[in-house]
A = this chain, B = another copy of it.
Amino acid sequence: MTAHRALTVLPVTGLGEVRPGDDLAALLVEATGEDPLRDGDVVVVTQKVVSKAEGRIVALDHDDPAAKRRLIERESRRVLRRRGDLLITETTHGFVCANAGIDLSNVDGGTAALLPVDPDRSARRLRAGIGHRTGAVVAIVVSDTFGRTWRRGVTDVAIGVAGLAGVVDLRGTVDANGRVLEATEVCVADEVAGAAELVMGKASGIPAAIVRGVDPAWLRPSSAATEIVRPPGEDLFR
């Protein structure tokens, strides 16, 4: 694997407020009109605008902790830990995150944004919609903001992908000294999501970015973020 290329990360501005039923692919194509999408671009879109476009918005009184807890439990397979208001749960998709990924910021008052029902399907639809409108073969990452077990601060990760590998397997690849590599699988999709976050900013309302110049070897006709979910039987800390 060689990757002696520069990468560019471009914020997508001017997307405007996204509402249920909006055609997000059309909005993204319009917002990137001045610098059109190209083959091999990875379009990173935050979960929140995908959820808004798909109507995954529910009424919720933000000041009612019991209602919030019921909603979190409904969106989860199981609760792993509780501390005060914070629940670490395994979502119906298998992601382990705080509060089932339910988002109360950047939504209208009295509402909450749930994760997309199937973020990989959301990604595939966006990819097809953009391809249909522009002819460009892009990849899509649907990103969300997760905490980490041992490290402070949140980072953006991939919860849906289309056209980009979730995990790139380097098993059998030989290092610069001719030895077979030990660290075998790199989660490039999460690194791409995090790189995109660096140009978005949590407060500035930029919900998408283009990552241009990723290694073509990571592009796939079909892929899924479910390959990033560590099966419960494999993890060591549940």
User: A residues bordering B, Cβ < 8 Å?
Assistant: 1-11, 13, 80-81, 83, 88, 95-96, 104-109, 145, 148-157, 166-168, 170, 173-177, 179, 181-183, 185-188, 190-192, 194-195, 197-206, 211, 214-215, 227-230, 234-237
Give the CA-CA distance A202 to B3 in the complex, in Å: 10
* Chain B residues within 8 Å of A185, by CB: 152-154
A7 touches B151 (CB 8 A): no
B108 touches A177 (CB 8 A): yes
Copies in the complex: 2
Q: Which of B2, B149, B195, B203 contacts A175 (CB 8 A)?
A: B203
Q: Which of B1, B152, B183 contacts A227 (CB 8 A)?
A: B152
B156 touches A206 (CB 8 A): no
B228 touches A152 (CB 8 A): yes
B181 touches A202 (CB 8 A): yes
* Chain B residues within 8 Å of A6, by CB: 8-11, 199
Give the CA-CA distance A203 to B184 in the complex, in Å: 10
Q: Which of B1, B7, B237 contacts A8 (CB 8 A)?
A: B7
* Chain B residues within 8 Å of A194, by CB: 155, 190-191, 194-195
B201 touches A2 (CB 8 A): yes
Q: Which of B149, B167, B192 contacts A237 (CB 8 A)?
A: B149
**Residue among A5, A155, A185 with the highest chain B CB neighbour number at 10 A:** A155
> What are 28 contact pairs spanning A and B, CB under 8 A?
A1-B204, A3-B11, A3-B198, A3-B201, A3-B206, A4-B206, A8-B8, A80-B237, A95-B150, A105-B183, A108-B177, A145-B186, A148-B187, A150-B230, A152-B229, A153-B187, A153-B228, A154-B185, A154-B186, A155-B186, A155-B187, A155-B194, A173-B203, A176-B204, A190-B194, A191-B195, A194-B195, A195-B198
